[in-house]
Amino acid sequence: MTPEHTALQRPMGAHMPVSGGLHTSLIAGKAIGCTAVQLFTANPRQWQNAPLSGDAVRAFREAQEATGVRFVCAHASYLINLAAANEVLERSRDAFRAELERARQLEIPWVVVHPGAHAGQREDDAMAHLIESLQRILEETDAQHNPVGIALETTAGQGSTLGWRFEQIGAVLQALGKHPRLGACMDTCHIFAAGYDLRDAASYAATMAAFDAHIGIEHLKVIHANDSKKPLGSRVDRHAHIGAGEIGAQGFVPLLQDARLASVPVLLETPEARKMHAINLQRLRCLADGQPLEVQVTVLFFGHYRDYYPAPCVLMVPYGATVRELAEQLAAQDVRLSDLLQYCRFAMDTEYVTPDSALVSDCELAVLPPVSGG
């Protein structure tokens, strides 16, 4: 399968905000080019939420029909811990039952949920609680003919969280007989922070071989595409913009061009949703299509150069381009800028950098001649 076919067939989008109603997530997603949307169906930081109104359900279904968004999934509340050992366990089970019921009403096929945390228990005991929770809830909802699936999300291993090793999620699937309504959600930031490398084709192949061996590629239902602010194996969960983190843009290419995953939806959960989701989504599509990735740089001139360019200059440069290469590009466009490298210092987002520093996407680059001080 060619990269172009992969990008066209796969639903791709982002986790979208729901201010103004659940249906607005689909409308906003469509506006930035999403063919897939993830959302919270209730406040993710509180236990009790009002039932969905008939009007809210109708508006959501009508918006999906109108926008043509092909895939929608819900993300469960952050409070839910199906592996807990105390009073939190029953509250979590009840809250997750409500998540599945809301998804059923909205005709959302999958709910993504974190496996939980042991919070001081023995890890084996926490795993047993998680398995028991899922078994109970699957049996109950099977009896109610609720078709909504549960996608266990890989985690970074921060704190006492479970699910940071593929073996843990695989053990849950195995214990529950690989129930058809149970699957996995793979988050690229999380697995990278957990120690699974993605930065080149060989590393990606090894990581996916491990995923297939312990979980099974056929059980992968959703992909969260996020770069990582923290290094490989850090076990710290901090999402970064695509190409602006430790994984790097090229680390997403094997994933996005893997024909085995061509029908698995890819969803962003990167920071600054309103400003950056459209940009990150375009980056993913470029990488999936095998197109060179460009970064946007805003150049601010100081000193006498401001006489030539009083307003900021917004330029697109190839991903990985350095300050030196940008200065050479500017000199080629305007001979008055031919001495930038000889005389000027450069600051990227207020920090001084060398000419050989790589440009970061959506940065501001200040060009500072000696008379500018600083």
The catalytic position among 78, 308, 343, 352 is 78
Is residue 308 domain-shared with residue 270, that is, in the same domain? no
Is 187 among the residues known to form the active site? Answer: yes
Number of structural domains (the chain) is 2
The catalytic position among 187, 204, 305, 319 is 187
Residue 217: pLDDT over 70: yes
pLDDT, one tens digit per residue, over 248-306 is: 999 999 999 999 999 999 999 999 998 889 989 988 998 999 887 778 899 999 999 99
**What's residue 2's pLDDT?**
47
Evaluate whether 223 touches 185 at the Cβ level (below 8 Å): yes
Q: How confident is the model at residue 5 (pLDDT cuts 50, 70, 90)?
A: very low
Is 269 among the residues known to form the active site? Answer: yes
Q: How confident is the model at residue 3 (pLDDT cuts 50, 70, 90)?
A: very low
Is 239 among the residues known to form the active site? Answer: yes
**What's residue 139's pLDDT?**
97
Q: How confident is the model at residue 4 (pLDDT cuts 50, 70, 90)?
A: very low
Residue 6: pLDDT over 60: no
239: phi then psi, degrees, rounded to nearest 5: -75, 145
pLDDT, one tens digit per residue, over 231-240 is: 999 999 999 9
Is residue 234 domain-shared with residue 359, that is, in the same domain? no
**What's residue 371's pLDDT?**
67
Q: What is the mean pLDDT of residues 124-139?
A: 97
The catalytic position among 10, 219, 269, 305 is 269
Is residue 113 domain-shared with residue 170, that is, in the same domain? yes
Is 129 among the residues known to form the active site? Answer: no
Is 90 among the residues known to form the active site? Answer: no
Is 339 among the residues known to form the active site? Answer: no
Residue 223: pLDDT over 80: yes
pLDDT, one tens digit per residue, over 143-165 is: 999 999 999 999 999 999 999 99
Is residue 115 domain-shared with residue 14, that is, in the same domain? yes
Q: How confident is the model at residue 336 (pLDDT cuts 50, 70, 90)?
A: very high
Is 114 among the residues known to form the active site? Answer: yes
The catalytic position among 99, 153, 227, 246 is 153
Q: Where does a domain end: 236, 263, 288?
A: 288
Is residue 298 domain-shared with residue 273, that is, in the same domain? no
Is 75 among the residues known to form the active site? Answer: yes
Q: How confident is the model at residue 366 (pLDDT cuts 50, 70, 90)?
A: very high
Q: What integer best gives the mean pLDDT of the chain? A: 94
Q: Where does a domain end: 288, 308, 326?
A: 288
Is residue 280 domain-shared with residue 338, that is, in the same domain? no
Q: Where does a domain end: 288, 307, 335?
A: 288
Dihedral in degrees, nearest 10, Cα atoms 116, 121, 122, 124: -40
Residue 86: pLDDT over 50: yes
The residue that leads in pLDDT, 124 or 293, is 124
CATH number at residue 339: 3.10.20.30
Is residue 279 domain-shared with residue 312, that is, in the same domain? no
Is residue 60 domain-shared with residue 157, that is, in the same domain? yes
Is 352 among the residues known to form the active site? Answer: no
Is residue 332 domain-shared with residue 363, that is, in the same domain? yes
Is 45 among the residues known to form the active site? Answer: yes
- Which residue range is the domain that position 115 belongs to? 3-288
**What's residue 374's pLDDT?**
46
Is residue 64 domain-shared with residue 147, that is, in the same domain? yes
Is residue 231 domain-shared with residue 301, that is, in the same domain? no
Evaluate whether 162 touches 80 at the Cβ level (below 8 Å): no
Q: What is the mean pLDDT of residues 4-27?
A: 85
**What's residue 275's pLDDT?**
82
